[in-house]
Amino acid sequence: MKKSMYWLGLWAALSVPSAEAVNREIRALFQPDPAQPNKNIFINKTPNSGYCAIYPGQCVDNNTFSIQLPIRFNSTRAIAAGEGVPLKVPANWRQLTVTNRDTQETEIVEVRISGVGSRYILSAPATELTGETDMREGHSKLWIGSTWVNTPPPCQYSGVGGYGPAFYLFFWKAPVEAACTKVATFPIPAMSFNTVDFSYELRTPNPLSMTSGLYTGSLAYSIGPGADFDFGPLMQPDDSNLTLDFVLDVQHTLKVDLPPGGNKVALEPQGGWQQWIDGGRKPTKIYRDQLFYISASSRFRVMLLCDSLGGSRCRLRGSKGNVTEVETRISLPAGIDGPGGGQVNLLLLRHNMWTGPFQPGHYVDRKGGSLRFEMPRDAIDFLLRPGFSDDKLSGNITVIWDSEV
């Protein structure tokens, strides 16, 4: 008598939901891949636990990730023959907002629970409950439609199940948000699910439009009869809340390289100075195109700094007091759109003013662009005016590239 009362008391204590919530982190990373420049997606970095840790091959084949929760469901009474155990998970897409910790920019992430599994534990071996002698047949005869690897609709088969005398390991795909019910064919005095495994799918924003940094946000779910994770009225969880904490890590690339000696630019007319020296023909253009190589995976902007009174012109000064002016224009490789959209070709830069944003349509890996340093026509006329003394004019022009747009 005492033993019976003790067992009943323990069962009642286990069936009381805990006030504590379960938290799990889901982490995804974007880093541009030079080998796949058009692959602009986040890569799941959450370690698998539960089903996918036990059967990794099945999950790779189905592009599935699983998380195991330390949540136990216990039956509140015996399960009668003909009575069902339904499993329902939040398979519809849900939205949450993730926020960049540094810039406070926000993006929308969508998530759905795409599968559910566990290990059911019986109060006695399946062979004792059914009268079968074979262990697998015991589990098969205990339920309508065979074992729990055989899914009831609308859930779908996931590939593998495992079993012992009184337990069965299973995992079901959940294409829609509806109950999938296994019906007992024999009475079961008591039953439990020792953990909850679930798989998930993510819809993430385009990382190319996001600023580098960590984006975080949370989504809360309820657990229990009538809740988001619902294992039916007979199964009571020992925790009633689940919070998924999402971390999207965006690690962009913005790198600009000059060829050797590219930091020193000499301006000259088309065809060189000799035509003017020999024939006196006044040059119509004095310029130099300087090649650079850019790698970029996100929007960026550009600023010009120089000796300037403002606007687009930078001054070059000589040792004899002579002064002339030069303008700087930028051209970018295909795949990077300018502020108004479309190809960037000889776009004029201005002193101490940001130009942009420039937006890559995909990861651009070490593609060629150019900076054109060119003297305006009136500056050429001033430089080559009669009586102008021989001089060498020079100046410093700095171009700043900034991904924090």
**180-207, pLDDT tens digit by residue?**
999 999 999 999 999 999 999 999 999 9
What is the average pLDDT score of the chain? 89
Per-residue pLDDT, 281: 74
Per-residue pLDDT, 387: 64
Residue 1 pLDDT greater than 70, yes or no: no
More confident residue, 275 or 11: 275
Per-residue pLDDT, 275: 73
The total number of residues shown for the chain amounts to: 405
Residue 405 pLDDT greater than 80, yes or no: no
pLDDT confidence band for 247 (50 / 70 / 90): very high
Per-residue pLDDT, 404: 67
Rounded mean pLDDT, 247-253:
95
User: 12 by DSSP, 3-state: which?
Assistant: helix
Rounded mean pLDDT, 174-184:
97
Per-residue pLDDT, 13: 28
Per-residue pLDDT, 108: 97
- Burial of residue 382 (number of CB atoms within 10 Å: 0-12, 13-18, 19+): middle
Residue with tokens 């199964």: 235
Q: Check whether the bond before 357 is cis (ω within 30° of 0).
A: yes
* Phi, psi (degrees; rounded to nearest 5) at 333: -70, 160
pTM (2 d.p.): 0.80
Rounded mean pLDDT, 66-90:
97
Q: Is there a contact between 208 and 359 (Cβ–Cβ < 8 Å)?
A: yes
**Rounded-to-integer distance, Cα 249 and Cα 251, Å:** 6
| Cβ-based neighbours of 104, under 8 Å, separated by 6 or more | none
**Rounded-to-integer distance, Cα 62 and Cα 43, Å:** 16
> CA neighbours within 13 Å on the CB side: how many for 363?
18
| Both tokens assigned to 257 | 């390289």
* Phi, psi (degrees; rounded to nearest 5) at 6: -65, -45
> In which element (H, E) is residue 184 found?
none
* Phi, psi (degrees; rounded to nearest 5) at 237: -85, 160
Per-residue pLDDT, 12: 27
Pairing of strands 43-44, 66-69: unpaired
Portions of the chain given CATH number 2.60.40: 254-402
Rounded mean pLDDT, 304-320:
93
DSSP string, 252-286: --EEEEPPTTTT----EETT-SHHHHHH-PPPS-E
Q: What is the CATH number of domain 254-402?
A: 2.60.40
Long-range contacts of residues 261-265, Cβ cutoff 8 Å, at least 24 apart: 262/290, 262/291, 262/292, 265/290, 265/373
From the list 194, 178, 177, 188, the residue with the least C-alpha distance to 143 is 188
Per-residue pLDDT, 62: 73
In this predicted model, what pLDDT tens digit does every residue of 3-59 receive, in sequence order? 222 222 222 223 333 445 799 999 999 999 888 888 888 999 999 998 888 888 878
| Cβ-based neighbours of 327, under 8 Å, separated by 6 or more | 312, 313, 314, 348, 349, 373, 374, 375, 376
Q: Any idea of the CA torsion for 288, 293, 298, 300, to the nearest 10 degrees?
A: -30
**Rounded-to-integer distance, Cα 28 and Cα 191, Å:** 36
In this predicted model, what pLDDT tens digit does every residue of 337-388 receive, in sequence order? 999 889 999 999 999 999 999 999 999 999 999 999 999 999 988 887 776 6
| Cβ-based neighbours of 303, under 8 Å, separated by 6 or more | 349, 352, 353, 354, 355, 399, 400, 402
